Amino acid sequence: MPEIKIYNASCLCEGVKFDLEGEPFHFVICHCTNCKKISGSAFMSNVMYNIPNVKITQGADMIKSYADGKTLSGNTITRTFCSNCGTTLFIIPAAGDIYITHPALINGKVDWKPKKEFHGNDRWAWIKDVEFRTKDKQKL
């Protein structure tokens, strides 16, 4: 059985550190206004992990949260950040069943590519279309 890769990640000041076990089950980019504002960028890149695959290894006491109720769905999501440097750490959906984090927090490089785009209608005009490879449907 192949060994499961552990990705080490941290905030900018390295006060908060965490491990991601295995590969994300989904990788998307989001163009919604809230993701653009919180990231300070044209979009936010988001990788999704099941909660047991995310382990906070340092600085749990430095993690603060913000209840974001101004979402397009109307569901409140929790956005967490480092209280020292302000780095966005996790997004926890209303259902609370997954952690969404960001590839830029991983120490080292990853070769993941986004598989989907959320809120593409809100994409800034200067961003070219993102090309996604569609999955071939398996024949039964």
Q: Per-10-residue mean pLDDT for the chain, 140 residues long?
A: 90 98 94 85 91 97 92 85 97 92 94 86 76 52
What does the block give as tokens for 6?
């552990």
CATH number of 6-122: 2.170.150.70
pLDDT at 132: 62
As separate numbers, helices (DSSP H) first and strands (DSSP E) second, the chain gives 1, 10
What does the block give as tokens for 54?
């995310």
Rounded Cα distance between 43 and 83, Å, is 22
Listed in sequence order, the residues at least 6 apart from 39 whose beta carbon sits closer than 8 Å to its beta carbon are: 88
Strand, coil or helix: what is 34? helix
pLDDT at 124: 74
pLDDT at 70: 80
- Give the burial class of 100: count Cβ atoms within 10 A of its Cβ; 0-12 exposed, 13-18 middle, 19 or more buried: buried
pLDDT at 17: 98
Rounded Cα distance between 6 and 62, Å, is 22
